[in-house]
Chain A
Amino acid sequence: MRVSFRINGDPVAVEVEPRLHLADCLRDVLSLTGTHLGCEHGACGACTVIVDGTAVRACLMLTVQAEGTSVVTVEGLSSDDALSPLQTAFRKHHALQCGFCTPGMLTTAHALLTEEPDADADRIRSALSGNLCRCTGYIPIVEAVLEARAAYRKADKP
């Protein structure tokens, strides 16, 4: 089937089997391997991408469901030359070790802070509780997201 959507701002059209889920489409058809698969049944959150502003599990969404949407992956969160404020905060707080869950953490946090730049620590923990990390114990991830809020507030009010 032919499916058209926007990926990180650019329009794409892909020809896929109906059964292909969005994560496999991103990774195998579009070669955007930053979206990771940790369980393929919606439990770990590593494959989280942002579809029309909402964080979704790309392993639980069929590619055909992306028709007409705008999809943002980890590759779309920063420009080539600089990390985004959220990514910078992750690095500063050592909010990643092996880096495998990181794309899903970043997309989930980005979607949250875009909507709720004043989210408190409890709200952040709650929003991230669907994303599993085995390395960090989550503490530095929450610290990084708290710190990144300032940049989203500014972006909100130019």
Chain B
Amino acid sequence: MIGTNRYIGSPVERIEDLRFLRGRGQFVGDLKRESMLHAAILRSPVAHGLIAAINPAAALAIAGVRAVITAKDVGGVPRIPLRLLPLPGTERFLQPVIAADRVRYVGEPVAVALADSPALAEDGVGAIALDIEELPPVPDRHVSGRGDILLYEEAGTNAAMIFTGDKGDADAAFRDADYVGRHRFAVQRHTALPMEPRGVLAEWDAAQGRMTVLGAAKVPFFNRDTLAAMLGLLPAEVDLIENDVGGGFGARGEFYPEDFLIPFAARHVGRPVRWLEDRREHLTAMNHARQADCEIEIACRSDGTILGVRGEVFVDLGAYVRTNGLIQPRTLAQCLTGPYRVPNVRITSTALLTNKTPSGTYRAPGRYEGSFFCERLIELAARDLGIDSAEMRLRNLISGGEMPYRLPRLEPVGPAGDTECDSGDYRETLERCLAEFGWEEKRALQGREIDGRYHGLAVACFIEGGGAGPKETARLDLEADGTASVYVGSTAVGQGLETVMAQIAADTLGMPLGQVRVLHGSTPFLDEGYGAFASRSTVLGGSAVFEAANALLAEIRAAAGARLGCAAEQVEVEDGYARAPDGRSLAFADLAAGGLRVTTAFGNDNRLTYTYGSAAAHVAVDPGTGDVELLDCLVVEDVGRIVNPLTLHGQAIGGMVQGLGGAFLEHLVYDATGQLLAGNLADYLIPTATDFPKIRAIALENHRSPSNPLGVKGAGEGAIIPIGGLMANAVANALASFGAMPNQLPLSSARVWHMGSAKKSTGSSE
């Protein structure tokens, strides 16, 4: 039970802002230790090859270079385990923490130089002689699928995993259909790109046998256990410390090679070691994401009712299966049809290995790509059937009466991977979106030329699976001064975790916000915990804090009742005081002496929450330049329950702009030899302040999630999902008279210009 709710539901200004605004954040690069050495990493300059020799002699001859570490020094080179979906067969494709005899992508770690300064460490890296016998590379998934060049000969295949999503009888549905449309679509390789590059600072205490690692993020408890096993230590002998983290978006904080190499180096040399990634290495070292293409079909009745979707999806996974690398192909197989009622589905999703940086999750993994595929497919069906875009979607959205709605069965996971949409009325957000956007009035502009620019409108709908994974733990301590300390296993990657958790705890305990402090993420705070992924922090961490706070409240009441001579349930709690019915009261500080502390774990048996929503956009396209101006873009989503409208709105707007980056700008281009051609922020373009100023987001809380006591749903990844499909459909509709078929992202100016420069109505397809 929540009391007065002064904070939950209010736009509470963030606690963490006070330090960030004054330049007092503590990011890993801000931290130093006495006698610390600096690490730089030699990375493979070729995409595929056999290591013939590594000679560090010239590096070690540089004054100030203290050591060079290679696979030989590591000995039995550990491989990085999968955190999610560790399915049989995947063990063949796990990444070693350092390349021993073979390199499989440009950027793969080969050696670590340790020196007195970062510059000297880089000098050291430059002086290491590395001799690699090049092998022919597998530059894309087509070559990979042919299998004549193998990344792992012993495996005999480049297919890391094949998922299928199955529901009903897809083939029968296609036999009976009035209409069948079949298309190819592709989403380009791009990446999360947090503004703070990664970093690790490791300290080895030889006397105590303890390893302390600063710079942890996202999933420190899993990473602690993984690192401990690799170093031959107990989890209790390893501490991962979470500092301020400059953005995560799914990519940062997974276990990367450096998360072993830097602690290993610290123990190896017996001194603290710090490594700070530079932006160029970030672009080849950190998880890439999103690259997928498909050939899919839709079957409909002539009235637009969708009968079935089937087809094949191919994911260009890169060189190894990383910790969460299978989430994207999994989600594409299971969730491609999004919020639509599709009774018959069969999607095969094949993850193919290539000589490129391995991929992993990036905000709404698989969902952004799947939405692009699905929304294009539906838009083309609507066009062919002569049905309005919005009407087509209204007709096919899952209705409130169908909840919970089961999504396709996933193989090879089986029933354990089953998931169902939990609650809501999907038409409600679409109707609200159309009304707020002014769809009826703007429809008249569809495809029209005004002053040389062509106007296009589109609408799209989405679901966001959130709140996934194991239990989350929270501990609440009532301190001697009457304040409360909240310890939670959830991690902060910039999303406002401290504020949101403090709001939940303060309301539940009836305390002023300023008397609640939130400590999170670092492993010493709790025996167990998990972290931040799959939009789970408010759902699982928030519920754990809520339940722990309720348990602490019960203890406060009991203690106060005993002291005040009344029953616990008669005690009223407000503003840090416990009051008896006769008006006498005790301050929390007076009660804390009894040592009040509660630890609670909350889990929801992996029942996902499904935030859902709709989006609409209006673009003007200049066919002469390929320029697309976004005149309006709106997302309306229902998140179950809003804890902080300010931070939630920030998640929505920020997600939309990231999605626009993927739709128009961001592209990790590789050449045929596996060299990355977008290795800096002048080549890898993300949105700037001038690019997309006209965007709006509205959040509703009409349908709570039944999966947790707060009724909240994961809400960090929804608004990005529909953006790719929405933009492609808006551009397609704008340039309909040119027969434009924008079936690949990104919608770069060159690509749009090409579509718009084709002679009117003769058609141009990509």
Shortest distance between the CB of B714 and any CB in chain A (Å):
17
Contact check, B494 vs A135: say whether CB atoms are below 8 A apart. Answer: yes
Contact residues, A101-156 vs B (CB, 8 A): 101-103, 106, 121, 124-126, 128-142
Which listed segment binds B: A29-37, A50-58, A63-71? A29-37
User: At the interface, yes or no: A22 with Cβ under 8 Å from chain B?
Assistant: no
A96 neighbours in B (Cβ, 8 Å): 17, 20-21
**Min C-beta distance of B757 to chain A, whole Å:** 28
- Contact at A134–B653, with CB atoms within 8 Å? no
For residue B425, CB closer than 8 A to chain A, the reply is: no
Flag whether A18 is at the interface (Cβ < 8 A). no
Instruction: Tell whether, in the assembled complex, residue B195 and residue A38 are in contact, meaning their CB atoms are under 8 Å apart.
Output: yes
A134:B681 contact, CB within 8 angstroms:
no
Q: Which 5 A-B pairs have the closest CB atoms?
A: A34-B23, A98-B494, A99-B20, A100-B246, A137-B657
Are A137 and B654 in contact, CB atoms less than 8 angstroms apart?
Answer: yes
| Chain B residues near A6 (CB-CB < 8 A) | none
B residues in contact with A14, CB < 8 Å: none
- B650, A33: Cβ atoms closer than 8 Å: no
Interface residues of B in 2-28 (CB under 8 A from A): 13-14, 16-25, 27
In the complex, the answer to whether B681 meets A125 with C-beta atoms within 8 Å is no
List 22 interface pairs A-B (beta carbons < 8 Å), by A numbering. Answer: A34-B22, A35-B23, A36-B195, A37-B29, A38-B197, A38-B246, A38-B279, A39-B680, A97-B494, A97-B495, A98-B195, A99-B19, A125-B689, A128-B688, A129-B688, A130-B688, A132-B195, A134-B192, A134-B658, A136-B650, A136-B653, A142-B693
Q: In the complex, what residues of A have CB within 8 A of residue B682's CB?
A: 41, 43
B539-568 at interface with A (beta carbon < 8 Å)? none
**A97 adjacent to B23 (CB under 8 Å):** no
Residue with the highest number of chain B CB atoms closer than 10 Å, among A101, A137, A139:
A137
How many Å from the CB of A37 to the closest CB on chain B? 7
Residues of B within 8 A of A43 (CB): 680-682
Number of interface residues of A (CB under 8 A): 54
Contact of B653 among A27, A39, A46, A140 (CB under 8 A): A140
| Nearest CB in chain A: distance from B34 CB, A | 14
A74 in contact with B22 given A41-B681, A142-B689 (CB within 8 Å): yes
- Main secondary structure, interface of A, reads loop
Shortest Cβ distance from B368 into chain A, in angstroms?
Answer: 16
> Is the CB of A4 closer than 8 A to any CB of chain B?
no
Chain A residues near B657 (CB-CB < 8 A): 136-139
Per the bound structure, the CA–CA distance linking A58 and B686 in Å amounts to 21
Chain A residues with Cβ under 8 A from B249's Cβ? 134
- Residue of B13, B24, B196, B646 near A38 (CB, 8 A) is B196
Whole-angstrom CA separation of A34 from B682 in the bound complex:
24
A133 and B23: CB pair below 8 A? no
Residues 647-673 (chain B) with a chain A CB within 8 angstroms = 647, 649-650, 653-658
Chain A residues whose CB sits within 8 angstroms of the CB of B27 once the complex forms: 33, 36, 100
Report the separation of the CA atoms of residues A100 and B247 in the bound assembly, to the nearest whole angstrom: 8
The answer to whether residues A98 and B14 also contact, given A41-B279, A137-B654, A142-B689 and a CB cut-off of 8 A, is: no
Nearest residue, chain A, Cβ from B195: A100
- Bound CA span A96–B687, Å: 16
Q: How far is the CA of A142 from the CA of B493 in the complex (A)?
A: 23
Chain A residues lying within 8 Å of B193, measured Cβ to Cβ, are 134
Chain B residues positioned under 8 Å from A87 (CB to CB): 21-22
- The residue of chain B having its C-beta at the shortest distance from the C-beta of A128 within the complex is B689
Q: Decide: A131 and B22 in contact? CB cutoff 8 A.
A: no
Contact A97 B21 (CB under 8 A): no
- Which residue on B lies nearest to A79, using beta carbons? B22
User: In whole angstroms, how far apart are the Cα atoms of A3 and B192 in the complex?
Assistant: 39
Complex-state Cα separation, A87 to B693, whole angstroms: 22
Per the bound structure, the CA–CA distance linking A43 and B370 in Å amounts to 32
Task: Verify A33–B23 contact, CB threshold 8 A.
Answer: yes
Tell me whether A83 and B650 are in contact in the complex, defined as CB-CB below 8 angstroms, given that A38-B279, A98-B195 are known contacts: no
Residue of B with least CB distance to A137:
B657
Question: Nearest B residue to A32 by beta-carbon distance?
Answer: B23
**Could you list 16 further interchain pairs (A-B, Cβ under 8 angstroms) beyond the known A90-B21, A100-B194, A135-B195?**
A19-B119, A33-B29, A38-B279, A40-B278, A41-B681, A41-B682, A43-B682, A46-B195, A83-B21, A87-B22, A94-B650, A99-B16, A99-B244, A99-B246, A99-B494, A125-B689
